[in-house]
Structure 1
């Protein structure tokens, strides 16, 4: 079995690699989305607190 055959996936390469790509994108989204949301929330809370002190 050559490396070319491995990447060809028996004729199903497009579907296999597309599914890998989509899975990777979803996993990365699940990793980074909460971090971004937390930063936004902390920024909003700091702004509200600043307004309340004025």
Structure 2
């Protein structure tokens, strides 16, 4: 099963507190959180992976 990550946006101006990212089977092995953007504010530098 492809992985799912919970990610939070730490930008104080952003209204979104967290989102889930659902991957597919054909995702590149080297894709990381640094390649993602917040779906609400569009920032890339304020994302943090929520470790369960």
Q: Which has the greater radius of gyration?
A: 1
Which has the bigger relative contact order, CA under 8 A and spacing at least 6?
A: 2
Question: Normalising by structure 1, what TM-score?
Answer: 0.18
TM, length-normalised to structure 2: 0.19
Higher strand share: 2
